[in-house]
Structure formats: structure tokens, C-alpha cells
Amino acid sequence: LFTCIDHVAYACPDADEAAKFYIETFGWHEIHREENPDQGILEIMMAPAAELTPDMTQVQMISPISETSTTAKWLEKNNGRAGLHHMAWRVDDIDAVSATLRERGVRLLYDEPRVGTGGNRINFMHPKSGRGVLIELTQYPKN
């Protein structure tokens, strides 16, 4: 059911600046960027190669674009310090995975998946269910 770690997310006040650092210092590539008003963030997907290959793990740079976003709250609680924020597992069928996880007592944040990066369907396991780690589930659009 789980394919791979789709991305690890880094929350910071300025995702653009963080992406620039990865490009200039590590030679990474910007794969995708978008503003997600539902999540209140700017997100930039970075990868070690210019083309995303199946199963490649990305780094997602996120920064708040709204003061009320959960990412703004997270940064505030972290005294403005950037750091690792969540990891995301790529899944084939988020509805089936969610149902199984719920059966097993895992707390998911949303009743139904919401729209994430590139139109993916996403949900999150609460950090209390993820042993202290916020875990995202992400399903790519089926073509």
C-alpha cells in the first residue's frame, strides 16, 4: 500500500530562500512550486535530479502565506526557527489506506482527503498517532 517516502518537509519563514540554498549549495533542482491557499503555504518541491524518477524522495520547502496557517503556528511555537516539519508517504489508494489506519486506531486529521501538491489527494496522521511525527499520506492523480 505504501510506495515510498514521497517527501520530507522543511518549514521555514522563506521557502524561496531555502530552495535557493539547496540549488546553489547542493546542486538540487526545483521540480515544482505552488501556493496552496487551503493549507496557507507556499511550497517548493526540490529533488537531487532535474527529472523526478519513480520512488525518488523530494524535499518540500514550506513557508506560511497566511498568519492563521498551521505552519505559521508551528514556526511561532518554534520561536521562528526552521526545521523538519513532516514526512509524507506515497500511497496508491488513500481511501483504502485511511480506512485500514482508522480501523487500527490511527487518528487522521481530515474526514476526507484534501487537495495537496499538484492536485494530489492528501491527509495527515496526527503527531500523537505518529509517535511524535506528523505523517502525511499523498496519492498522485491516476492517469
Q: Which residues bind ligand CMX (CB under 6 A)?
A: 9, 39, 41, 43, 60, 62, 70-71, 73-74, 77, 85-86, 109, 116-117, 122, 124, 127, 132-134, 136
Q: How are beta strands 114-115 and 121-125 bridged, if at all?
A: antiparallel
Task: Report the partner that residue 121 touches, choosing among Co ion, ligand CMX, none (CB closer than 5 to 8 A by kind).
Answer: none
Looking up cell 503555504, which residue turns up? Answer: 41
Q: Is 60 a catalytic residue?
A: yes
The answer to whether 88 and 5 have CB atoms below 8 angstroms apart is yes
Which parts of 19-48 interact with Co ion (CB under 5 A)?
none
Q: Which is nearer to ligand CMX, 9 or 28 (CB)?
A: 9
The active-site residue, picked from 39, 58, 85, 136, is 136
Smallest CA-to-CA distance from 109 within 127, 123, 95 is with 123
- State how far the Cα of 93 lies from the Cα of 28, in Å rounded to an integer: 30
The active-site residue, picked from 58, 85, 86, 139, is 86
Q: How are beta strands 58-64 and 121-125 bridged, if at all?
A: unpaired
Q: How far is the CB of 7 from ligand CMX (least distance, A)?
A: 8
